[in-house]
Amino acid sequence: MVDTAEAEHDELSPARSAMIYLVLLVLTVATYSLSRLHLGTWTLVIAMLIAIVKASLVALFFMQLWYHRGSVRLAIAIAVLWLFLLMFFVVADVKTRYPLANPTANPMLVGPSGP
Amino acid sequence: MNELLRNVLFLPEQASTFARKVDSLHYFVIITTMIMSTLVGLTALFFFVRFRRRSETQTTPLLNPPWWLETMFVVVPLAFFLFWFARGYTDYVELKTPPKNSMDVYVQAKQWMWKFSYPEGPNAIGVLRVPANRPVRLMMTSRDVIHSFFVPAFRVKQDVLPGRYTETWFEAIQPGRYQLLCAEYCGTNHSLMLGEVIVLRPDEFDSWLADQRRGRALQQDGAPTADEDVTRQADLVRQGERFAVQYGCVKCHSIDGSPHIGPTWLDLFLRREELEGGQTIIADEAYLTESMMDPRAKIVRGFNPVMPVFKGRLAGPEAAAIVEYIKSLRSEPLEQARSRRPVYEPIRSR
Amino acid sequence: MLPESHVQEHFANMEVQRQAARLGMWAFLGTEVLLFAGLFAAYAEYRSLFHETFVLSSRHLDAIMATVETAVLITGSFAVVMAHHYARSSRSGMTCLSLLVAVGTGLAFLALHGIEYVHHFEEGALPGKYYHFPEIQTAGASMFFSLYFLMTGLHSLHVIAGAGVLAWLAWRASSGEFSRGNYNAVEMGGLYWHLVDVIWIFLFPLLYLI
Amino acid sequence: MSPSALDEVGFPEHHYLNAGTTVRSWLLTTDHKRIGVMYLVAVILALFLGGMFALLLRFEHLTPGPTYIDAVTYNRFFTLHGVIMVWFFLIPAIPSVFGNFLLPIMIGAKDVAFPRLNLASVYIYAVGAAFTTWAMIHGGADTGWTFYTPYSTTTSTVVAPILLGIFILGFSTIVTGINFIVTIHTMRGPGLTWMRLPLFVWAIYGTAIIQVLATPVLGLVLLLVGVEHLLGFGLFDPARGGDPILFQHLFWFYSHPAVYIMILPAMGVISETVAAAARKNVFGYRAVAYSSLGIALVGFFTWGHHMFVAGQGVFDAGAFGVLSMFVGIFTSIKVFTWVGTLYRGAIRFTTPFAYICGFLYFLVFGGMTGIAVATVSLDVHWHDTYFVVAHFHFIMVGAALMGFLAALHYWFPKMFGRMYHEGWGLVSATLIILGFNATFIPQFLLGNLGMPRRYYDYPVRFQSLHVASTAGSTLLFFGFVIIFIYLVLALKYGRAAGRNPWGSRGFEWDTSSPPPTHNFEQLPVFTHGPHEYQLAPEVSNAA
């Protein structure tokens, strides 16, 4: 049962890809200008949201995920999920660890270059 | 029953409150496992004998387990596993939260030896004396690689990280001598990094501590390694201070961190100094002694070379005393840590 | 006229072969994502530990040049999409041209990035023990630049590899090898280049904009 | 090594072994079967090399003090024992040897999806092995196979080449994993639905997912240690604010799924061999198939149970502990299913079945001690002691190696067309099972007593158990030597095995043994599953 072969015709048309290209450029400039506003913790959230939108645009249309069903989507979805899994547990460990077991509690750590 | 199982399983004696709890869970897990695996083994053996192949062309029925048997295969083991986990995890959380009234000891692990120092009292190499029936909290750090403080009799183990602090605690229940081992691989003599925890009766311990503080007890604890003989450091530091005043060092070197003619002595020990020539060195004992004897050899950037030469005026032990005094001038990160943030953060208040 | 078959003998037909190649490529892209996952986890940890220093150091980086680099890489991605379109419609001349444009954007990105590195070498904002940048002396600054050089360095290696692949494809396209029946290689090279772009889309804000 | 004469039992005239007998035809082959045989030779070499280091370690432990080597050599030996056994034997053992050989045959394909890439994986393995051997000759690292920082970044021993060797070897694993995933997805024969796939293929599919998703993180972490060791970037250097526990997180994110790369294929082998030995359908095919996937995916959530005492947060310890319990139930489903398969079967006691019994005993014993270690409080006492050493040797040597031996004996006739000597097979199986128990049961007790791992010298009270363990290890070693001897002899003098010596309904037994270069005279059409023993013997797929 080979995955459903997608029809030839509904591949990415040049017009649509040009339009997506422009959207990506606009988003790049937008993320740069928004970051200059220094909104504190919000800068990270906004920058990440824009990055996720750009990345999914590239993945879905430029990399034709939009037109291929099944296992290819699963493969990259699991890889991205594992990325967040690793980041979640590493940061959770640092946040919930015994506070003095963190690198910041290093008595010798005076300057950037250590003792 | 406890003693029987402990001997059968080759477990060391239970010398701490935590050991007793851990062993009871250990027995429960081992007994259930033994029963279950013998049952599974016997059924397999029975099937094997009962259903051995009689003829080459024999066909066997197509059998698939009914849904309830399938869920039994999942639910029964999972129930046991999660129950053990719940029990084990609560003990673990208790191990991670030292009680409020526990006595503090600072442990410093160094490649292949243990150093213990009591907040106000003496230091000891390789031998940790603790009172019985009183929780003892260990604040541990390492000077080079990861070590691990492991006392089998207490069932307690905690990795010791370089450059930061990890903590653990135990409450010994009976006096005695228990071996301390390093459990995290730390190099060539990892297997020689042994030590001893001597549990004394509370009154014995208090008298020992008092003796130590008065400095009268002259016998050294444990076998000091070659490069670090233990004299009564408290005396040495005081002598060093007297020499520093006598020879006028403190006229140019401040001891509270404030800028002065010479580099400040606060936190000077093991600090990375930027020299005139541009290269950086670590201010260890060798550098300190050398800059006393020949100050112009290494000038710290930003200071002019006005320091007089003390070669010939300072005797060896006097120089060593001043170095010890400089080493004692630390901005006490431990106290600072304790004051800056509450160190006792029990996950569950006890 | 059916082009002489490029189907390898153990595949049923061209469609199965293309589906196999595509799944294999996506699995490989999964490994690339996970290769960077370790670095993102390290970044997340040290960012949560040395927050102020990271913000201070990231403000020191040249965000404008990074924005230009991002635009350059996205242009490269667009060029590769066009190359894939031309290959599928058997116009090998245009395929070769757009592939060369993509290689050009890759080299431009590397050049801009090289300028940034030279700038950092001069002012001493280097990783680990080489760090002697006077302006930022708080704890963890050398950590930021260690991560900066590791992440952008590894990414630049991937840009070099991607540009190499696209150049090789352009050379093959110039001899008219790709056509409607056989454009697998262009699609696979394109997928790799798009992934390099996606990784930079995340590196750019994390390192430069926060 | 073409067979000497055409035997009367119908040894096939043309097959993949004599399809080209020049060395060049072997070195440049893209035939998955030849690549499987080449991996078999490499893997057995690695097994004996790693085993030799194990014996050297065990003899050093006969007496507490220095017995015949000094501390640094001992530290180098256990590092090399770990590195060779983990990366050069256990990880490639079943997937690269039997996965390569059998997967295309089992799904009715001519070859794997990317044959040239498959050959490349052999050469990548060879280059990785060359680097590690070079490092071994020049003294090797003394950091243990886990390379914990900051010791691994500050030691003066030869660390960088070994890291490079394993880094390169990682690509060989990734390439094999990608090859298998794509082959199973796109090249299944007509009529072969997912639910008719042999259980060995399911296990290889789960292993391939782990190989592809876990190995890149190992590549990165070894790269970081190498960069730290050579250039001093300070990522794990505590003086510069680095966090050694971050290294442990990244390392174990790979290494725990890696232990499932080692055990999952062995479970696949046992599912096949139990069905063949009992001539009965596997008791709950769907449960075993899905638990292979379950182990592959949930295996990624549990790496923190290696770091309960490393200074990890209490929240992480709890999360990883619970998740480790869930990954345990997939193994228990499989064990109950295998025992259930014996019910109302027609069991014949052969060497593979002896290894099945050994496998089941060691998997239950090793698995339960794993669950016991995952109850967080018990791990505090057991971590980094010989208890953990015994636990993972029960799983790796006990279960994974028994699975490898079961596979080797079960598919030996299919790979080489000849039968091994049954009597010697049973003798060596008993020797290995007894020797193994004598080696590792004392180590469980050593762990309870509190003997830490990687100790060159040890307090005297542990000596009696160490001597017992060393005695057991010699027994184990002789078991392997006997196997090596009679299998090599069987290559030449074994009687011709014929197409299906076990009377198994697996798809690989429908082609001749050894199979022709393109696996089948004509491509099979699949009408039913691989374990349909309720049908009469002559009705089979090859009709």
pLDDT at C38: 94
**D238 to A106: CB separation less than 8 angstroms, yes or no:** yes
| A24 shares its domain with A51 | yes
Q: Note down the domain range covering B316.
A: 233-335
| A52 shares its domain with A88 | no
- B118-132, D76-90, D195-209 — which is least confidently predicted? B118-132
Instruction: Decide if D262 is inside a domain.
Output: yes
Instruction: Decide if A55 is inside a domain.
Output: yes
How many domains are there within chain B? Answer: 3
| A43 shares its domain with A56 | yes
| A26 shares its domain with A55 | yes
| A28 shares its domain with A74 | no
Nearest to D519 by CA among D10, D92, D12, D15: D15
- With a CB-CB cutoff of 8 Å, which residues 19-78 of chain A face chain B? none
Nearest chain B CA: its distance from D353 CA (Å): 10
Instruction: Decide if D68 is inside a domain.
Output: yes
| Dist. CA D456–CA C96, nearest whole Å | 63
Instruction: Decide if D12 is inside a domain.
Output: no
Contacts of A24 in chain C (CB under 8 A): 74, 77
Q: Is D498 on the interface with B (CB under 8 A)?
A: no
| B268 shares its domain with B287 | yes
Q: Is D517 on the interface with B (CB under 8 A)?
A: no
Q: How far is CA D386 from CA B26, B183, B199, D356, D465, in A?
A: 16, 11, 26, 26, 11
**D217 to A86: CB separation less than 8 angstroms, yes or no:** yes
Residues B348/B93, Cβ–Cβ less than 8 Å: yes
Neighbours of chain C (3+ CB pairs under 8 A): A, D
| A54 shares its domain with A86 | no
- Where is mean pLDDT largest: B274-283, B287-296, B326-335, D491-500? D491-500
Instruction: Decide if A37 is inside a domain.
Output: yes
Does the predicted TM-score (pTM) go above 0.95?
A: no
Shortest CA distance from D348: residue in chain B: B53
Q: Which residue among B214, B248, B275 closes a domain?
A: B214
Give residue C39's identity as a one-letter amino acid code: L
C42 → closest Cβ in D114, D181, D246: D246
| Dist. CA B249–CA B237, nearest whole Å | 15
Nearest to B139 by CA among B111, B120, B166, B115: B166
Return phi, psi of residue C198, to 5°: -65, -40
Q: Alpha-carbon torsion C18, C21, C24, C25, what sign?
A: negative
How many domains are there within chain A? Answer: 2
Q: Is A94 on the interface with B (CB under 8 A)?
A: no
Q: Note down the domain range covering A76.
A: 69-98
- What confidence tens digit (pLDDT) does each residue in C105-156 have? 999 999 999 999 999 988 888 888 888 888 877 778 888 999 999 999 999 9
| Dist. CA D305–CA D311, nearest whole Å | 12
pLDDT at D353: 92
Neighbours of chain B (3+ CB pairs under 8 A): A, D
Instruction: Decide if A86 is inside a domain.
Output: yes
In sequence order, the β-bridge partners of residue A19 are: none
Q: Is D22 on the interface with A (CB under 8 A)?
A: no
Does residue A65 surpass a pLDDT of 80? yes
| CATH number of the domain where residue B157 is located | 2.60.40.420
| Dist. CA B341–CA D153, nearest whole Å | 32
Structure tokens at C146: 């260690």
pLDDT at D526: 87
**B164 to A102: CB separation less than 8 angstroms, yes or no:** yes
- What confidence tens digit (pLDDT) does each residue in B134-179 have? 999 999 999 889 999 999 999 999 999 998 889 999 999 999 999 9
Does residue B246 surpass a pLDDT of 80? no
Mean pLDDT value across chain B: 82
What confidence tier does D250 reach under pLDDT thresholds 50, 70, 90? very high
Structure tokens at B316: 């060896």
pLDDT at B219: 46
Those residues with Cβ within 8 angstroms of residue B14's Cβ, 6 or more apart along the chain or in another chain: B2, B6, B20, B23, B153, B155, B173
| A39 shares its domain with A52 | yes
- With a CB-CB cutoff of 8 Å, which residues 23-42 of chain C face chain D? 23-24, 27-28, 30-32, 34-39, 41-42
| B182 shares its domain with B266 | no
pLDDT at D194: 92
Contacts of D311 in chain A (CB under 8 A): 97-98, 101
Give residue C70's identity as a one-letter amino acid code: T
> Which among D220, D228, D230 is the top mutation candidate for probing chain C, defined by the most C β-carbons within 10 Å of its own β-carbon?
D220
**A79 to C137: CB separation less than 8 angstroms, yes or no:** no
- With a CB-CB cutoff of 8 Å, which residues 56-85 of chain B face chain D? 56-65, 70, 73-74, 77-78, 81-82, 84-85
Nearest chain D CA: its distance from A73 CA (Å): 13
- What confidence tens digit (pLDDT) does each residue in B28-76 have? 999 998 898 889 889 988 999 999 888 888 888 888 889 999 999 899 9
pLDDT at D6: 42
A115 → closest Cβ in B166, B272, B343: B272
| A74 shares its domain with A62 | no
Q: Half-sphere exposure (CA, 13 Å, Cβ side) for D250? A: 31
Q: What is the SS3 string spanning chain C?
A: CCCCCCCCCCCCCHHHHHHHHHHHHHHHHHHHHHHHHHHHHHHHHHHHHCHHHHHHHHHHCCHHHHHHHHHHHHHHHHHHHHHHHHHHCCCHHHHHHHHHHHHHHHHHHHHHHHHHHHHHHHHCCCCHHHCCCCCCCCCCHHHHHHHHHHHHHHHHHHHHHHHHHHHHHHHHHHCCCCECCECHHHHHHHHHHHHHHHHHHHHHHHHHHC
Residue recorded with tokens 């988003």 = A27
Structure tokens at A101: 């077991």
Segments in D450-533 forming alpha helices (H): 463-493
Instruction: Decide if D482 is inside a domain.
Output: yes
**C32 to D221: CB separation less than 8 angstroms, yes or no:** no
**A86 to D250: CB separation less than 8 angstroms, yes or no:** yes
pLDDT at A107: 57
Does residue A27 surpass a pLDDT of 70? yes
Contacts of D224 in chain C (CB under 8 A): 38, 42, 150
Give residue A82's identity as a one-letter amino acid code: W
Contacts of D177 in chain C (CB under 8 A): 27
**C80 to A62: CB separation less than 8 angstroms, yes or no:** yes
Does residue D40 surpass a pLDDT of 70? yes
Contacts of D209 in chain A (CB under 8 A): 78
pLDDT at C200: 96
| CATH number of the domain where residue B297 is located | 1.10.760.10
Contacts of A11 in chain C (CB under 8 A): 85, 88
Does residue C48 surpass a pLDDT of 60? yes
**D283 to B179: CB separation less than 8 angstroms, yes or no:** no
Query: Could you give the domains of chain C?
Result: 14-209 (1.20.120.80)
Q: What is the CA radius of gyration of chain D?
A: 23
pLDDT at A108: 56
Contacts of D245 in chain B (CB under 8 A): 161
Q: Is A53 on the interface with C (CB under 8 A)?
A: no
The residue-averaged pLDDT of A83-87 equals 94
Q: Is C91 on the interface with A (CB under 8 A)?
A: no
Mean pLDDT value across chain D: 90
Shortest CA distance from D365: residue in chain B: B37
- With a CB-CB cutoff of 8 Å, which residues 428-447 of chain D face chain A? none
- What confidence tens digit (pLDDT) does each residue in D488-510 have? 999 989 888 888 888 888 888 88
- What confidence tens digit (pLDDT) does each residue in C181-204 have? 788 899 999 999 999 999 999 999
**D537 to B59: CB separation less than 8 angstroms, yes or no:** yes
Task: Note the residue count of chain D.
Answer: 543
| A63 shares its domain with A76 | no
Instruction: Decide if A103 is inside a domain.
Output: no
Question: Which positions in chain D have a beta carbon within 8 angstroms of at least one beta carbon in chain C?
Answer: 109-111, 113-115, 174, 177-179, 181-182, 185-187, 212-217, 219-221, 224, 227-228, 231-235, 237, 240-243, 246, 249-250, 253
| CATH number of the domain where residue D328 is located | 1.20.210.10
Contacts of B92 in chain D (CB under 8 A): 308, 314, 317, 376-377, 380
How many domains are there within chain D? Answer: 1
Those residues with Cβ within 8 angstroms of residue A18's Cβ, 6 or more apart along the chain or in another chain: C78
Instruction: Decide if B221 is inside a domain.
Output: no
Q: What percent of chain C has pLDDT over 70?
A: 96
What confidence tier does B287 reach under pLDDT thresholds 50, 70, 90? confident
Regarding beta strands B156-160 and B147-151, do their DSSP bridges make them parallel or antiparallel, or are they unpaired? antiparallel
Q: Note down the domain range covering D151.
A: 34-510
Question: Per-residue b/e over B284-312, b at no fewer than 16 CB within 10 Å?
Answer: eeebbbebbeebeebbbeebeeebeebee
Mean pLDDT value across chain C: 89
B167 → closest Cβ in A98, A106, A110: A98
| B138 shares its domain with B180 | yes
Does residue B106 surpass a pLDDT of 80? yes
Instruction: Decide if D13 is inside a domain.
Output: no
Residues B343/B119, Cβ–Cβ less than 8 Å: no
Nearest to D116 by CA among C167, C10, C195, C192: C10
**D235 to C42: CB separation less than 8 angstroms, yes or no:** yes
Shortest CA distance from D227: residue in chain C: C150
Q: What is the ipTM of this complex?
A: 0.88
Contacts of D151 in chain B (CB under 8 A): 145-146, 185-187
Count Cβ–Cβ pairs < 8 Å, chain A vs chain C: 160
Instruction: Decide if B33 is inside a domain.
Output: yes
Cα C7 to its chain centre, rounded Å, is: 30
Cα angle D174, D180, D185 (rounded to 5 degrees) comes to: 130
Instruction: Decide if A7 is inside a domain.
Output: no
Q: Is A112 on the interface with B (CB under 8 A)?
A: no
**B165 to A98: CB separation less than 8 angstroms, yes or no:** yes
D246 → closest Cβ in A90, A108, A109: A90
Instruction: Decide if A1 is inside a domain.
Output: no
Nearest to D268 by CA among D218, D215, D345, D337: D337
Does residue B336 surpass a pLDDT of 70? no
- What confidence tens digit (pLDDT) does each residue in D251-263 have? 999 999 999 999 9
| Dist. CA D301–CA A84, nearest whole Å | 12
| B201 shares its domain with B286 | no
Contacts of B9 in chain D (CB under 8 A): 445, 448
Residue recorded with tokens 């050994």 = D358
B81 → closest Cβ in D244, D328, D342: D328
| Dist. CA A79–CA C199, nearest whole Å | 13
Those residues with Cβ within 8 angstroms of residue B246's Cβ, 6 or more apart along the chain or in another chain: none
